[in-house]
């Protein structure tokens, strides 16, 4: 009984495969040859039709290994080097989330929902136009603001640690507004996946 069932299933499968193989190839040799055009050949016996191609089982190609995407394949270091999580930028002296910061966080939240095992450190950073001491607290405010927004979008709070680095680790060492704008941010580091 046990061995019967696979056989029963195999038969239609083979039939289908065969039909597919025949239909696909449509070898011209299987077609009846056109009538000979000349008188000289009228007496000559017509060539017998070529036999159909033998039914061959298609060779099985092993499937591609399952790689869902580049993100989950990358190492933590590589991930953080080109982080899929976008920084949320802030205005001078402010820890309020701007519309563009919220858009960045919306995208981050979607990613964090997709990769539900990730743990994240939200780093708060400031530019050099604030003082070193107050910036430690301002950076914390920025990290907390970003974290709270992600939590409001359904990311579990226990996946999101915060730390403030004040102005100790500028991303851009320049001294112009372009650099300052890059340095006022909540920055996301993936710490576990």
* Site residues for another protein per CB under 8 A: 77, 80-81, 93, 128-134, 136-138, 140-141, 161, 163-165, 168-169, 171, 189
Whichever of 91 and 168 has its CB closer to another protein, that residue is 168
Whichever of 84 and 130 has its CB closer to another protein, that residue is 130
What is the nearest approach in angstroms of another protein to the Cβ of residue 163?
Answer: 5
Count other Cβ atoms within 10 Å, centred on residue 162. Answer: 20
What is the nearest approach in angstroms of another protein to the Cβ of residue 114?
Answer: 22
What is the nearest approach in angstroms of another protein to the Cβ of residue 117?
Answer: 19
Whichever of 55 and 132 has its CB closer to another protein, that residue is 132
3-class SS letters over the chain:
CCCHHHHHHHHHHHHHHHHHHHHHHCCHHHCCCCCCCCHHHCCCCCCCCCCCCCCCCCCCCCCCCCCCCHHHHCCHHHHHHCCCCCCEECCCCCCCCCHHHHHHHHHHHHHHHHCCCCEEEEEEECCCCCCHHHHHHHHHHHHHHHHHHHHHCCCCHHHEEEEECCCCCCCCCCCCHHHHHHHCEEEEEEEEC
Whichever of 115 and 171 has its CB closer to another protein, that residue is 171
Count other Cβ atoms within 10 Å, centred on residue 129. Answer: 14
Whichever of 101 and 138 has its CB closer to another protein, that residue is 138
Whichever of 93 and 107 has its CB closer to another protein, that residue is 93
What is the nearest approach in angstroms of another protein to the Cβ of residue 137?
Answer: 4
Over its C-alpha atoms, the chain yields an Rg (Å, rounded) of: 34
What is the nearest approach in angstroms of another protein to the Cβ of residue 80?
Answer: 4
What is the nearest approach in angstroms of another protein to the Cβ of residue 104?
Answer: 18
């Amino acid at each position: 009984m046990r061995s019967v069932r696979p056989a029963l299933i195999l038969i239609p499968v083979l039939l289908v495969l065969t039909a597919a193989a025949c239909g696909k190839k449509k070898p011209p040799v299987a077609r009846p040859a056109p009538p000979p055009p000349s008188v000289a050949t009228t007496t000559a016996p017509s060539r017998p039709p070529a036999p159909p191609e033998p039914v061959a089982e298609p060779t099985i190609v092993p499937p591609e290994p399952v790689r869902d995407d580049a993100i989950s394949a990358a190492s933590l270091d590589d991930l953080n080097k080109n982080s899929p999580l976008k920084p949320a930028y802030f205005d001078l002296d402010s820890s309020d989330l701007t519309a563009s910061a919220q858009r960045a966080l919306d995208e981050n939240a979607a990613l964090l929902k997709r990769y539900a095992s990730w743990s994240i450190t939200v780093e708060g950073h400031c530019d050099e136009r604030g003082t070193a001491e107050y910036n430690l607290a301002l950076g914390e405010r920025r990290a907390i603001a970003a974290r709270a927004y992600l939590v409001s979008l359904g990311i579990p709070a226990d996946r999101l640690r915060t730390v403030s680095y004040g102005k100790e680790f500028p991303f851009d060492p320049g001294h112009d507004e372009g650099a300052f704008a890059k340095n006022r941010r909540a920055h996301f580091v993936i710490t576990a996946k």
